[in-house]
Amino acid sequence: MMPAASILLVDDDHHLATSLGEWLAEEGFEIHLAGTLDDARQQLKQHAFELVITDLRLGGEDGMTLVTDVKNHHSETPVLVMTGYATPNTAVEAVRAGAVDLLTKPVIDDELLLAIDRAMNQRKIEAENETLRRQLDQRSGLENILSHDYRMMKIFDVIDSVADAKASILITGENGTGKSMIARAIHNRCSRRSGPFVEVACGALPDTLLESELFGHVAGAYTGANTDRRGKFELADGGTLFLDEIATATPAMQVKLLRVLQELQFEPLGGMETRSVDTRVILATNENLDQAVADGSFRQDLYYRINVVNIVLPSLRERTGDIPLLVDHFLREAAETAGREVDGFDREAMKCLQSYAWPGNVRQLENVVERAVLLATDRVLTKDDLPPDVLGTSANQHASIGSIGNSPGVTASNGPSSFNPAVLDGCSLREALEGPEREIILHSLRRHNWNRAATADELEINRTTLYKKMKRLGLDDPRLQYANH
């Protein structure tokens, strides 16, 4: 039989407290009574309560002081506040002080039981989250991957099973699901953990530069190659090489990757000497490789070579139960970085966070929490601190429509926009838009000194999409980086 939940009931009205306490005892709770702040503080020192229920007026004392005390010294214990003198600001003040709910006297029995149930459930969830956080902290390499979703737990078990396997591992999942973190976790769990972990974003480099990046080059291999350079396969010797966005590799590069994965041998770009390495390779993609093989854009033999162990990461919208845990983690990190005092999101804001689809997954959630912390004017974050897209609105809709006027053939004005039909003479719409698209991307690349990750962030596209556009628009030529602006 489960022990009765222990509640400290604090009220200076002895008759009311006794009556309410007897009724709660009949409902199955263990009740302790206190009539003053000192009495309540003394009992809190002597006994671990699962809930505190307090009046706001305790003779000449302020019950809000007790709420603050409990939050500061017994943070695991939730507090319910009762008052017969509620004002519109009372609830806000109570939440700021640390209360989980406020009830107005006279309290309705069912309303009180419901509030107690909510407070107990919140305490249980917070205790479970803290336990999970401690368990995750004990997992070497998994301390930054927060989840209690059963699918993620299975993935943690797979990581333990394959950490020391020699076979290649393929990690698949949408952008922002944490493929890089999983790769690092595998490395940190294996016997190679003392060796290097080297990451390469394949989609961010054109084919020639990618070959040099992976296999190195000898002096004179191409214009500007003045000295020999070791590639990532060599730099990761004795450790792990993580190849992200592997689906962007060209057919020629796929052939070279197949050989090095099978034989762990290669020649540097422009060189004749065969080099051997002992490098464990983990690969990742957000694309459907089965479909790519069917379409002929990805080699079937390479697919079977890398798909020995496939770890499929679920999207955030498939594990919404993890959102409160992740929000709490990101909130503490952002508050510490920004030097802000933040208590957390209120119930309505958390409901918005859990009902949103999160196309950018965990990475997007982290950005939204950081933004809320930086822009908030209060310790308790509300839905007003969330961006419009999370709330289902679009503050940028009009701005996006107006920006079309920057394209050739479209003229923005105070009145209706006008279009120059000559821009489409003899060409398709896609061909007509290639010119302005190329200029926009080129301008952004130059502004960020050809940093593709920063360019992709500014244009709000992923790196793979940026690289594909660069190839289509002829912007992947390395000579462009040294041309006059």
Residue 245 near residue 210 (C-beta atoms within 8 A): no
**Beta strands in 3-113, from DSSP E residues, in sequence order:** 6-10, 30-34, 51-55, 57-58, 61-62, 79-83, 101-104
User: What are the angstrom distances between the C-alpha of 184 and each of 111, 284, 357?
Assistant: 49, 12, 27
Please name which of 404, 481, 475, 482 lies closest in space to residue 441, comparing C-alpha atoms: 475
Q: Which residues contact 23 (CB under 8 A, 6 or more apart)?
A: 109
User: What are the angstrom distances between the C-alpha of 405 and each of 48, 398, 415, 419?
Assistant: 65, 12, 12, 9
pLDDT digits (tens, 9 = 90+) for 271-307: 888 999 999 999 999 999 999 999 999 999 999 999 9
Question: Residue 131 has what pLDDT?
Answer: 63
Helices (H) then strands (E): counts for the chain: 20, 18
Q: Which residues contact 439 (CB under 8 A, 6 or more apart)?
A: none
For residue 102, the tally of other CB atoms under 10 A from its CB is 19
Q: Which residues contact 178 (CB under 8 A, 6 or more apart)?
A: 145, 313, 361, 362
Residue 10 near residue 63 (C-beta atoms within 8 A): yes
Mean pLDDT of the chain: 82
Please name which of 397, 198, 363, 176 lies closest in space to residue 279, comparing C-alpha atoms: 198
The region, left, alpha or beta by phi > 0 then psi within -120 to 50, assigned to residue 226 is alpha
Using the CB atoms, write b or e for 113-131: b if 16+ within 10 Å: eebbeebbeebeebeebee
Question: Residue 395 has what pLDDT?
Answer: 42
Residue 311 near residue 158 (C-beta atoms within 8 A): yes
Mean of the pLDDT values across residues 346-358?
A: 91
Question: Residue 404 has what pLDDT?
Answer: 33
Q: Which residues contact 338 (CB under 8 A, 6 or more apart)?
A: 373, 374
pLDDT digits (tens, 9 = 90+) for 68-80: 888 888 888 889 8
- β-partners of residue 118 are none
Q: What percent of the chain has pLDDT over 70?
A: 86
Q: What sign for the dihedral angle of Cα 405, 411, 413, 416?
A: negative
Which stretch of DSSP H or E encloses residue 171? strand 169-172
Alpha helices in 339-405 (DSSP H): 347-355, 361-375, 388-391, 397-403
Residue 34: pLDDT above 70? yes
Please name each of the domains of the chain with its CATH number: 6-135 (3.40.50.2300), 150-314 (3.40.50.300), 317-391 (1.10.8.60), 429-481 (1.10.10)
Tell me the whole-structure pTM to 2 decimals: 0.54
Question: Residue 135 has what pLDDT?
Answer: 52
Q: What percent of the chain has pLDDT over 90?
A: 30
The backbone torsions φ and ψ at residue 470, rounded to the nearest 5 degrees and listed phi first, read: -60, -40
- β-partners of residue 265 are 276
Place of tokens 């706001």: 56
Residue 122 near residue 78 (C-beta atoms within 8 A): yes
User: What are the angstrom distances between the C-alpha of 204 and each of 1, 210, 243, 296?
Assistant: 60, 9, 11, 22
Residue 394: pLDDT above 50? no
More confident residue, 309 or 86: 309
Q: Residue 128: helix, strand or coil by DSSP?
A: helix
How large is the C-alpha radius of gyration of the chain? Answer: 30
Mean of the pLDDT values across residues 257-272?
A: 91
Which of 7-21, 108-122, 387-401, 408-422 has the lowest average pLDDT?
408-422
pLDDT digits (tens, 9 = 90+) for 186-224: 998 888 888 999 999 988 787 778 888 999 998 887 777
User: What are the angstrom distances between the C-alpha of 59 and each of 11, 67, 69?
Assistant: 9, 16, 18
More confident residue, 46 or 408: 46
**For residue 37, what are its two tokens?**
């702040």
Dihedral angle over CA of 131, 134, 140, 143, nearest 10: 90
